[in-house]
C-alpha cells in the first residue's frame, strides 16, 4: 500500500486513496456475497443431503440403537467390536476384497485388449456400440438377466452340456466359492465397454511422434506397446482402474438381485451386509459401522490411486 501512495500523483478532485480503498472493499464484499449467492444452492444441497448424512452416520456408528425405538445411547466402539468378532462380517469383507482385487486388474486389462483389438478393425463403431451396450442397462436389469443365465438349465449350463463339458455345469449362484466369481464376471461384462471406450479416448489422444520414431528405428509392435504406448497411457489406465475398483466393490444393485437365492446372502459383499444388517435385521447402528468401514476402504483406494496419479504427473 505504501508503495502505491508514493507511485501515484493524484489529480486534483479525484477521490482520496482512502475513499478508493473503501470503495474497493465495498466491491469486494459485494463480490463475495454475489459469489456465495451463486454457490449457495449447490452448497446447501450437498451439505444437507450428502455431508450431513455422512457426519450422522459416523455418529450413529458410535451409538446403541434399539430396533423399534431409535438410537438411545452412546456406546463408544461397541459396534466396531461386534464387527471384529462377526464371522459374517469377516466373510463379507473377504468377498469384498476379492471384488477389489479382481477389479484392480481385469476390467482395465480386458478393456485395453478390446481397445487395441478394435483400433482399425472394420466396423469399429458398431463393435464399440456392442461392447458398450450392457452399460446402458441398469445393474438391476443386468442382474435379473444373468440370474436366469446362471440358472440350473440356463444358458451357461446348457452351453457347457452342449459342448460336452456337462461336468462343469454348476449351481453358480448357490455355492460360496462360485457366487462371487460368477457375479464378478457379470459385472465385468457390463463394465468393460466403458473401460474400453475410456481407453480408446486415451489412446487416440496420445502423440504419434514417439511411435513413428520407434517404427522408423525398427521396433516391433510389442516393443512399441510396452515401452511407449503403455507408459504414455498410464494416467488413463490409473483413472480407469480407479473407476472400476470403486464401481466394483460398492456395487449393491447387481449383487442384491443376483444373490436372491444365495444361502448366506448377507455375506456376499460388505454393501449387501450393510443393507441386510440395518434394513433387514434392524441393527441400524451396527449397519452404520459397516458403512464407515466401506467408506474407509473407498477413500484409501481413491487416495492411494490419486497419489500415484500425482506422482506420474510430476515426472
Tell me the three state secondary structure of residue 71: strand
Q: Which stretch binds another protein (CB under 8 A): 10-18, 29-37, 97-105, 307-315?
A: 29-37
User: Per CB under 8 A, does 19 bind another protein?
Assistant: no
User: Per CB under 8 A, does 34 bind another protein?
Assistant: yes
What binding mask, one character per residue, do residues 183-202 give for another protein by CB under 8 A, x or -? ------x----x--xx--xx
Q: Which residue in 78, 185, 206, 298 binds another protein (CB under 8 A)? A: 298
Q: Which stretch binds another protein (CB under 8 A): 5-13, 15-23, 261-269, 307-315?
A: 261-269
Q: Which stretch binds another protein (CB under 8 A): 8-16, 225-233, 248-256, 307-315?
A: 248-256
- Smallest gap from Cβ 191 to another protein, in A, equals 13
- Return all residues near 83 (Cβ < 8 A) that are at least 6 apart: 89, 286, 289, 290, 293
For the record, the C-alpha cell of 233 comes out as: 497411457
How far CA 212 is from CA of 204, 232, 233, in Å, comes to: 14, 14, 16
- Smallest gap from Cβ 119 to another protein, in A, equals 10
User: Per CB under 8 A, does 302 bind another protein?
Assistant: yes
Tell me how long the chain is: 315
- Which among 9, 169, 190, 204 is positioned nearest to 106, based on CA atoms? 190
User: Per CB under 8 A, does 53 bind another protein?
Assistant: yes
How far CA 18 is from CA of 5, 23, 93, 228, in Å, comes to: 11, 9, 65, 61
Sign of CA dihedral 76, 87, 244, 252: negative
Please, which residues bridge with residue 283 across strands?
Answer: none
User: Per CB under 8 A, does 78 bind another protein?
Assistant: no
> 293: phi > 0 → left, psi -120 to 50 → alpha, else beta; which?
alpha
Is the distance from CB of 244 to CB of 198 less than 8 angstroms? no
Q: By CB under 8 A, what part of segment 121-180 binds another protein?
A: 121-123, 127, 129-131, 133-134, 136-141, 144-149, 151-155, 158, 171, 173-176
User: Per CB under 8 A, does 239 bind another protein?
Assistant: yes
Q: Which is nearer to another protein, 12 or 167 (CB)?
A: 167
Q: Which stretch binds another protein (CB under 8 A): 13-21, 100-108, 223-231, 291-299?
A: 291-299
Is the distance from CB of 63 to CB of 75 less than 8 angstroms? yes
Q: By CB under 8 A, what part of segment 81-100 binds another protein?
A: 87-88
Which long-range contacts (C-beta less than 8 Å, at least 24 apart) are formed by 202-206?
Answer: 202/233, 202/235, 202/236, 202/237, 202/240, 203/115, 203/116, 203/119, 203/229, 203/233, 203/236, 206/232, 206/233
- Smallest gap from Cβ 12 to another protein, in A, equals 26
- Smallest gap from Cβ 20 to another protein, in A, equals 17
User: Per CB under 8 A, does 314 bind another protein?
Assistant: no
User: Per CB under 8 A, does 225 bind another protein?
Assistant: no
Q: By CB under 8 A, what part of segment 270-289 binds another protein?
A: 270-271, 274-276, 278-282, 284, 287-288
Amino acid at each position: 500500500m505504501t508503495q502505491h501512495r508514493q507511485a501515484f500523483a493524484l489529480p486534483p478532485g479525484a477521490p482520496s486513496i482512502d475513499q478508493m480503498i473503501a470503495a474497493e472493499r465495498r466491491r469486494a464484499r459485494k463480490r463475495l456475497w454475489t459469489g456465495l449467492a451463486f454457490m449457495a444452492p449447490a452448497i446447501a444441497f450437498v451439505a444437507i443431503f450428502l455431508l450431513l448424512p455422512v457426519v450422522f452416520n459416523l455418529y450413529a456408528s458410535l451409538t446403541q440403537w434399539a430396533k423399534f425405538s431409535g438410537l438411545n445411547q452412546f456406546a463408544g466402539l461397541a459396534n466396531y467390536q461386534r464387527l471384529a468378532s462377526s464371522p459374517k462380517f469377516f466373510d463379507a469383507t473377504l468377498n469384498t476384497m476379492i471384488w477389489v482385487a479382481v477389479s484392480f486388474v481385469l476390467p482395465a486389462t480386458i478393456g485395453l485388449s478390446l481397445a487395441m483389438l478394435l483400433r482399425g478393425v472394420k466396423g469399429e463403431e458398431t463393435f464399440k456400440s456392442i461392447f458398450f451396450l450392457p452399460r446402458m442397462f441398469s445393474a438391476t436389469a443386468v442382474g435379473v438377466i444373468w440370474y436366469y443365465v446362471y440358472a440350473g438349465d440356463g444358458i451357461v449350463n446348457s452351453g457347457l452340456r452342449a459342448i460336452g463339458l456337462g461336468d462343469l455345469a454348476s449351481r453358480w449362484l448357490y455355492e460360496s466359492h462360485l457366487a462371487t466369481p460368477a457375479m464378478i464376471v457379470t459385472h465385468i461384462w457390463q463394465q468393460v465397454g466403458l473401460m474400453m471406450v475410456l481407453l480408446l479416448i486415451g489412446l487416440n489422444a496420445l502423440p504419434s511422434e514417439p511411435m513413428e520414431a520407434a517404427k522408423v528405428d525398427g521396433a516391433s509392435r510389442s516393443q512399441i506397446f510396452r515401452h511407449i504406448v503403455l507408459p504414455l497411457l498410464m494416467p488413463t489406465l490409473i483413472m480407469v482402474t480407479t473407476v472400476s475398483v470403486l464401481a466394483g466393490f460398492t456395487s449393491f444393485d447387481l449383487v442384491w438381485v443376483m444373490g436372491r437365492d444365495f444361502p448366506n446372502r448377507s455375506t456376499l459383499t460388505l454393501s449387501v451386509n450393510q443393507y441386510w444388517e440395518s434394513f433387514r435385521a434392524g441393527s441400524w447402528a451396527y449397519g452404520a459401522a459397516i458403512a464407515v468401514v466401506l467408506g474407509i476402504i473407498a477413500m484409501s483406494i481413491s487416495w492411494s490411486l490419486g497419489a500415484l496419479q500425482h506422482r506420474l504427473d510430476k515426472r
